[in-house]
Chains A and B, each alone.
Chain A
Amino acid sequence: MDFGHTCNRDDVNPLNCNQLTRDGESISEIISAGSVPRKANSWITMDFSVMSILSNGLDWFKVEYDPPLARAVVFGVPIGGHLVVEALLVIAILFLLLQKSYKPPKRPLTEKEIDMLCEEWVPESLIPPLTEEMKYESPVLDSAAGPHTVIDGREVVNFASTNYLGLIGNEKLHESCTAAVEKYGVGSCGPRGFYGTIDVHLDCEERIAKFLGTPDSILYSFGISTMFSAIPALCKKGDIIVADEGVHWAIQNGLHLSRSTIVYFKHNDMESLGNTLEKITRENKRVTKVRRYIVVEAIYQNSGQLAPLDVIVKLKEKYRFRVLLDETNSIGVLGDCGRGLSEHYRIPVEKIDVITAAMGSALATDGGFCTGSVKVVDHQRLGSSGYVFSASLPPYLASAAITAFDILEENPHLITKLKRNITLLLEGLSDLPGLSIASNPQSPLVFLKLKRTTGSFQNDLQLLEDIADLMLKEDSVFVVASKRSTLDKCRLPVGIRITINRCRKSMS
C-alpha cells in the first residue's frame, strides 16, 4: 500500500485529503455500481470496494495523525511518518533491553530471612512515656453540672459547663425525660435503619426544622459525630473546602476524612477568606465542576469569636461556594429567639446551605443535628457513616430536645437574661491583671488570654491551669483552661474559658 505519496506531497492538508477520499469513494461507487458486470463478478466488486475503503481510511488516518515531522527532509532524504515511528520503536526496544540488563535480579527474601527480620523488629511502645503533667485529674462533680455545683463537698459557682440557658435542672425538661425513660427505656438498641428509629426521633427532627425554619433535619446520636460524619458525606475526594483555621477538632476530623482539598484561611479574617476564594476560583479551571464549601463556626469553640455571617454570605454568593455553619454554641443564644447566627445577622436561613450543631450546650441535652435542604438531609440518611453505623440517640434525649425547643420558644426572656449576664460579666472581667478578653462581646463563651505568653504552649497551659485550680480552691469558682489534644491542628492561643449562663446573679 502506498504510504509514501501523501507524505511526499508538500501541500497536504485535510481538505485535499477529503477531496481524495471523496474521489476514492466515487471510484468505488462506480465500480460497485456497474462498470464491472454485477452478477458474474460480485465477489470482485465486494473485494474492490472493501479495499478502496480501507485504503481511503488509511490515507485519512495517516494525514490526521501524521506528526509534523512527517514532512521533514534530512540530507535530502524525505523522512516518512512511518520511518520516524519505526526509529522510535527501535530506540525504545534498545532502551528497554539495556534497562533490563542493568537491573539487579530481584530475589525475594527467603523464609529464613523474613524470620530473622521479624525476630529483629522491635516495636515502639504504644504510648509515649507519661510525664507528670499528663496525669491530670479532672474535678469530680457531686451534683448536676448546673450553675452551682458541688465539688469535693463544697458548693462552687460553675463557669465551666456550656449550659447557657440554665436548662439543667429545668422542671419541664426533667418531666419529659422521666416520661420518656419510662416509656422507651434508656438506649434505642439499634441504628436508625434497623428499628432504632423511635417516633420521638422523627418528631424531634421535625421540631428542629420547624424551629430553625429549614426544610428538613437529621439527628445524630452524638455531638462531635455530627460534623465528622456530615462533612465526609457531603464532600468527597476532589471537592474543595475552605475552612477557618480555628475550627474545632470534630470539624478538622471531618475535613480530613472527606479527603477533599482543604484550604485554611486566617482565623475569622474575612479578607483572608476573600483572597483564598479568589485565588481558588482563579487558579482552578475545574472549579465549577466540583463541590465547594466554606466551613465556619458561628461561635468558635476555640476562641469565642463570632463569624461575620453577612460578609461570608456575600463572599459565598460571589464565588458560588456553599456554606457549612456549625452552630453548636449559638443555637439558643444568638438572635432574639435563639435561632442562631442567621437570626443574629437577620439573614434568611436558606442562605446557609448546611447547619450542624451539637445539642449538648444551650439545649441541655445530647446528640447533634444537621439541617438544610431536603436533598442535603436525605443524602446523609444513607451516606453519613455516623448516622448509618451507630445506634440512634437515646429517645429520652430526643424528647428532651423537643421540650428544650418548646421552652425556648415560650420564654424568649431566657435569652435576654443571658445577654444581660454576658455584658455584666464582661464588665467585671475587663481589667483583670495579666489576662485579656479574646472573645467576642456577644459570645457566652468568654476567652481569657494571657497578656504576655511565656513563649511555649505547654507553659502557657500549665500557668492557666494553675490559675484555674487556684480559683476553684480559693474562690470556689469553677473555670477551666482550654485544653488541646495532640491531634488538634488548631494553633490559636490557649485561654481560660468561662461560660456564662442566664442564672447568674452576682459575680465576684
Chain B
Amino acid sequence: MITIPYLTALSTYISYGLLFAFGQFRDFFRKVIDWWKNSSNLEQGYAPICLGLEDFYVRRLYLRIQDCFGRPIASAPDAWFDVVERYSTDNNKTLKRTTKLSRCLNLGSYNYLGFAAADEYCTPRVIDSLKKFSASTCSARVDGGTTRLHTELEECVANFVGKPAAMVTGMGYVTNSAILPVLMGKGSLIISDSLNHNSIVNGARGSGATIRVFLHNTPSHLEQVLREQIAEGQPRTHRPWKKIMVVVEGIYSMEGELCKLPEIIAVCKKYKAYMYLDEAHSIGAIGKTGRGVCELLGVDPADVDIMMGTFTKSFGSCGGYIAASKELIDYLKYTCPAHLYATSIPPPAAQQIISAIRVILGEDGSSRGAQKLARIRENSNFFRSELQKMGFEVLGDNDSPVMPIMLYNPGKIPAFSRECLKKNVAVVTVAFPATPLLLARARICISASHTREDLIKALEVISEVGDLVGIKYFPAEPKKQQLECRVKLD
C-alpha cells in the first residue's frame, strides 16, 4: 500500500490533465491539417494500424521523454557500462545514435550477482561450449535440440531449487505463457496477484481458465477470494471448480517487495489450491545460498507445487525453468508447446547457467559465490537504509535488491532520469502503463558487483538530483501533519 500526499496527487493529476489536453489539442490540429491537405492516402480502404486513441499515449506523452527509455549500451551490463549518447533533430520523435559513449554507473540492469560481465569461471566454459555445441541448436527440444548440456542443466536446476525435476525453456516469458495453458483450462480457476508480471497474465489468458485477482500480497484477501469462489463454483453453471491455482511472484519487480509466502502457502493448503511461484527476480539473488524466497523465508520447496524462474537476471544468461515433481515435468515434456515447438535454450547460455550455479554453490572450489551473495545483501540493505535516511520514499522490503523510489509527477520522470545520466548514473524510470498512472517511480537494482565506493557515489548523485527534482517526500523528520494528509492507494 502506497500513500500519496494530497498535494502531490493533485499536481500529478493536473500534470496528466494538461498533457492530455495538450495532446488532444495537437491531435485536433493534426486532423485539420490532414483534412486540409487531403493527403493521397496510400492506405485507403485499410483501417489504420493503430485505431483511434490506441497510440495517443505513445505519441503525445511517451515520445516526449523517450530518451529516458531504451538507452543503448555498448558494453556488458556490469557495474559500470558505456551508454551510447543519442540526439534528436525532430523534438524527440526519433533518436539517432552517436559514436560517443559515456561511462555510467549501472543501477538499472538485473545483474544481481554480477554474472553479466566476463567471469573467470563462467566465460571460458561458455566459450568452450560455443565451440563444442555451436551458438544454437536450431531445433526444438524433442527433435535434436537436447544436448548433454540441456540434461545436465535440468538436473542442476532441480537440485538447486530443491525439487525432484525441472524443465528448461529458452525464454522466461514463454515459460509462463506456455505452461499455464497446459496445466489449467476451462473449468479451472487461476487466482493471480494483482501486480503479477505480464507473462503470467498472458499465460492465464491463453489458458482459457477463469481468472480472479487478489489484492497485491494480501493473504487475507486471497483467503476471501478463495472462499467466495469455492462456495460459488463456476460462473453460471455453479459446478465446483476443477482445480484452483494461486500464482504469485517471489520478488515483485516494480515494487521490490518480497512475497508473503508462508502465509499464502498456509491459505493455499487450507483451501487445497495449487501454488505457482514465479521466482524470476528472487532466484539466485536472495537467501543464504541464493535459493530464492523459499530459503529466505524458511519455506519448504515441497510446499510449492510449481516453481518457475528465469535465468535472465541473477545468472546473466537467458531462458526460464519450471521445477516440480517428476510426474509433472514428464507431463510437461510430453505436451508443453515450449518444449515441442520452440528452439531449445542455446548451449552457451545453458553452460553459463550451469557455471553460475556452480559458483553460487561453491562447487568451483572458491568462496566467490558466498561472497557475492553476502555482498548483494549488504549492498541492498546499505543502499536502502541510506536512501530512506535521505528522505526518499522507497518501496519494498529489506534484503530485496530492487528498490523503487517514488516520483509521482510525470514531469519528474525525465528530470530525474536525465539529471542522473548527466552525472553518469544510469537509472531506470517506470511510468504508466507499467505502473498505475499516479505512481511513477525510479527503480534501482543493486548488484553484487557494485563496490562501496560505487554505492556512495550513486547516493551522492541521487541525493543531489533528488533535491533538485524535489522528490524527498519524507524529509529527515516527517511531520505528523504531513503523514496524516495522505491519500491511500493500493
Which A positions have Cβ atoms within 8 angstroms of B?
109, 113-114, 117-118, 121-128, 130, 134-136, 138-146, 149, 158, 160-163, 168-169, 173-174, 177-178, 181-190, 192-199, 201-202, 221-225, 228, 234, 236, 239, 248-250, 253, 256-257, 288-292, 301, 320, 322, 358, 360-361, 364-366, 373, 375-376, 379, 381-383, 385-386, 388-391, 393-394, 396-397, 400, 478, 480, 483-488, 497
A185 and B117 contact, CB distance less than 8 A: yes
- Residues A189 and B109 in contact, CB atoms below 8 Å apart: yes
Task: Give the residues in chain B near A478, CB-CB below 8 Å.
Answer: 144
Any chain A CB within 8 A of the CB of B147? yes
Distance, CA A352 to CA B132, complexed state (A) = 39
| Known interface pairs A222-B342, A485-B337, A487-B181; A396-B135 also in contact (CB < 8 Å) | yes
Tell me whether A122 and B231 are in contact (CB under 8 A).
Answer: no
Interface-central residue, A141, A201, A256, by most chain B CB under 10 Å: A141
* Chain B, residue nearest A385 (CB): B198
B463 to chain A, nearest CB (A): 22
Having A177-B135, A236-B54, one finds 17 other A-B pairs with CB under 8 Å, namely: A124-B188, A126-B183, A140-B146, A141-B147, A143-B132, A143-B133, A163-B138, A187-B115, A195-B83, A228-B177, A291-B49, A366-B346, A389-B197, A389-B199, A478-B144, A484-B340, A486-B182
Contact with A along B53-85 (1 / 0, CB 8 A): 011001000100000011111111110010110
Closest 6 CB pairs of A and B: A360-B343, A391-B312, A160-B144, A222-B171, A480-B143, A144-B134
- Check B76–A174 contact: CB distance below 8 A: no
Residues of B within 8 A of A202 (CB): 72, 97
Most buried by B among A144, A478, A488: A144
Q: Which of B155-195 contact A (CB under 8 A)?
A: 170-174, 177-178, 181-183, 188
In the complex, the answer to whether A222 meets B341 with C-beta atoms within 8 Å is no
Distance in angstroms between the alpha carbons of A140 and B333 in the assembled complex: 14
CA distance A114 to B232 in the complex (A): 9
Q: Tell me which of B135, B242, B352 contacts A124 (CB under 8 A).
A: B242
A291 near B341 with CB under 8 A, answer no
Could you list 6 examples of A-B contacts with CB < 8 Å? A121-B272, A141-B146, A162-B139, A202-B97, A256-B206, A485-B337
Give the residue name and chain of the A residue nearest to B272 (CB).
A123
- A158, A178, A181 — most chain B CB neighbours (10 Å): A181
Residue interface mask B69-108, A partner, CB < 8 A = 1: 1111111111001011000000000000100000000101
Residue B357 interfacial (CB < 8 Å)? no
Please determine whether B202 and A397 come into contact, CB atoms closer than 8 angstroms. Answer: no
Q: Tell me the minimal C-beta distance from A393 to chain B in angstroms.
A: 8
Chain B residues in 8 Å Cβ range of A389: 173, 197-199
Q: Does B230 contact A (CB under 8 A)?
A: yes
Partner of A141, one of B148, B228, B327: B148
Say whether A224 contacts B342, CB under 8 Å. Answer: yes
**List of B residues within 8 angstroms of A169 by Cβ:** 134
Min CB distance, A193 to chain B, in Å? 5
Take A145-B137, A199-B74, A397-B346 as given contacts and tell me if A134 and B331 are in contact as well, using a CB distance cutoff of 8 Å: yes
- Which residues of the partner chain B approach A149 to less than 8 Å between Cβ atoms? 144
Residue from B132, B150, B171, B226 with most neighbouring chain A CB atoms (10 Å): B171
Name the interface residues of B274-296: CB closer than 8 Å to any CB of A.
Answer: 274
Asked if B123 is at the interface of the complex by the 8 Å CB criterion, the answer is: yes
Residues on the B chain within 8 Å of A396, using CB: 135, 348
Give A190 to B81 CA distance when docked, in angstroms.
Answer: 13
Please pick, from B50, B122, B130, B341, the residue contacting A177 in the complex, using a CB distance under 8 A: B130
Nearest A residue to B270 by beta-carbon distance?
A118
C-alpha gap A376/B452 in the complex (Å): 45
Residues of the A chain whose Cβ atoms lie less than 8 Å from the Cβ of B55: 379, 383
Q: In whole angstroms, how far apart are the Cα atoms of A372 and B301 in the complex?
A: 46
| Smallest CB gap from B72: residue in A | A197
- What separation, in Å, do the CA atoms of A132 and B459 have in the docked complex? 60
Does the CB pair A480–B142 fall under 8 Å? yes
Residue of A nearest to B201 (CB): A385
Interface centre among A158, A181, A366, A488 (most CB of B within 10 A): A366
A125 to B244, CA, bound (A): 10
Closest to B97 in A: A202
Contact A187 B316 (CB under 8 A): yes
Question: Of all chain B residues, which has the CB nearest A199?
Answer: B74
Q: Is B216 an interface residue (CB 8 A)?
A: no
| Contact flags B218-240 to A (C-beta < 8 A → 1, else 0) | 00000000111011000000001
| Contact A322 B348, CB 8 Å, known A142-B148, A186-B318, A223-B343 | no
**Nearest Cβ on chain A to B371's Cβ, whole angstroms:** 19
Nearest B residue (CB) for A395: B76
Contact B331 A130 (CB under 8 A): yes
Bound CA–CA A177/B132 (angstroms): 13
- CB neighbours (8 Å) of A249 from chain B are 337, 341
Known contacts: A183-B76, A193-B70, A257-B206. The answer to whether A358 contacts B47 by CB under 8 A is no
Contact assessment for A117 and B109 in the assembled complex, using a CB-CB cutoff below 8 Å: no
CB of B334 within 8 Å of the partner chain = yes
B168 to chain A, nearest CB (A): 13
Bound form: Cα–Cα A125–B46 in Å: 48
Whether the Cβ atoms of B47 and A291 lie closer than 8 Å is: yes
- A366, B312: Cα distance in complex, Å: 15
Q: Which of B295-324 contact A (CB under 8 A)?
A: 305, 310-313, 315-318
Q: Could you tell me if A186 and B73 are in contact, using CB atoms closer than 8 angstroms?
A: no
If A190-B77, A253-B206 touch, whether A222 touches B337 (CB-CB below 8 Å) is no
Chain A residues with CB below 8 A from B74, complex form:
198-199
Contact status A174-B118, CB under 8 Å: no
Q: A223-B343, A487-B335 are in contact. Are A142 and B171 (CB under 8 A)?
A: no
Closest-CB distance, A173 to chain B (whole angstroms): 7
A472 CB to closest chain B CB, in angstroms? 11
**B212 contacts partner chain A, Cβ-Cβ < 8 Å:** no
Judge whether B116 is part of the interface by a CB distance below 8 angstroms.
Answer: yes
CB atoms of A181 and B348 under 8 A apart: yes
Question: If A141-B147, A142-B147, A478-B144 touch, does A199 touch B84 (CB 8 Å cutoff)?
Answer: yes
Interface residues of B in 319-359 (CB under 8 A from A): 327-328, 330-331, 333-338, 340-343, 346-349, 352
CB of B92 to closest CB in A, whole Å: 13
Closest to B240 in A: A121
Contact A364 B241 (CB under 8 A): no
**How far apart sit A74 and B179, CA to CA, in the bound complex (Å)?**
69
Q: Are A250 and B70 within 8 A (Cβ)?
A: no
A177: B residues at CB distance < 8 A: 130, 135, 348
B173 touches A190 (CB 8 A): no
Interface contact B75-A161, CB-CB below 8 Å:
no
Cβ contact within 8 Å between A184 and B76: yes
